[in-house]
Amino acid sequence: MKYDPNIQVPDGLNLDRIPAHVALIMDGNGRWAKKRLMNRVKGHEQGAQTVEDVVMAARELGIDVLTLYAFSTENWARPKEEVKALMRLLKRFLKNKTQDLKNKNIRLNILGQVERLPDDVRKQAEQSMADTKHNSAMILNLALSYGAREEITIGVQQIAAKIKSGALNPEDITDKTVSDHLYTAGMPDPDLIVRTSGEVRLSNFLMWQAAYAELVFTPTLWPDFSKQEFHQILIDYQQRDRRFGKV
């Protein structure tokens, strides 16, 4: 693990048993704003600060891969003004934080249908990925215009095309074959998936990869999710007995 040797280790957390891949479903921005009689966009703005805090906390602890569910394929159906605001926030985050990612040796990666993003956002995302491609301490996956069913469907189509061309025999298809045709190819499956806001479902997120992930559902709305709660979830995770279907 590549943890920061200068951090103050929270009581009860073993840095030698940090999960390699943590995924977060960042839910509750709109409800956070509504509770405060604010526009939903204000909740997304506050949520962006939480993103920054959690990314840096993950980097300090030596997590290899952090995946954030930022915008689903279903989110395109939200009101146009809210979608536009989300895209503006995304572009601003990418533009303003790329240097921080470089300084922390974090590589940015996008999971999803990047081609559906507005041109200016897509170009900024591509630029940020290019600027951080040589970083090696942590991968930060942003799931944008992402849906697990679409991801699996696209992977199956790619496998079918290889069978049709004669490059692959059907009997040679394994679990790894499928994994190698997903957006997360070459990455470990998530050890831990956390969803904020009290909703208890995965909402079309990493459905293949989540087969043996440990799941945590916290009632905390995403803008209120803190570094301290993140640490406590990791401490609780380390107490679980992960058997992967075995005795």
Calpha distance 124→90 (Å, rounded): 9
Q: Which of 6, 14, 27, 96 is catalytic?
A: 27
Per DSSP, helices labelled H in 39-180 are 40-61, 80-103, 119-132, 148-165, 175-179
25 half-sphere exposure, CB direction, 13 A CA radius: 26
Structure tokens at 166: 């004669």
Verify whether residue 39 is a known catalytic residue. no
Q: Which of 4, 64, 75, 172 is catalytic?
A: 75
Q: Give the CA angle between residues 72, 74, 79 to the nearest 5°.
A: 105
Instruction: Kindly report each contact of residues 49-53 with a partner whose C-beta sits within 8 Å and lies 24 or more positions away, as own/partner.
Output: 49/223, 50/26, 50/222, 50/223, 50/224, 50/225, 51/26, 51/93, 52/93, 52/97, 52/100, 53/226, 53/227
User: Which amino acid appears at position 81 of this protein?
Assistant: E
Question: What is the DSSP-derived secondary structure letter of residue 192?
Answer: E
Verify whether residue 75 is a known catalytic residue. yes
Residue corresponding to tokens 């904020």 = 196
Active site residues: 27, 75
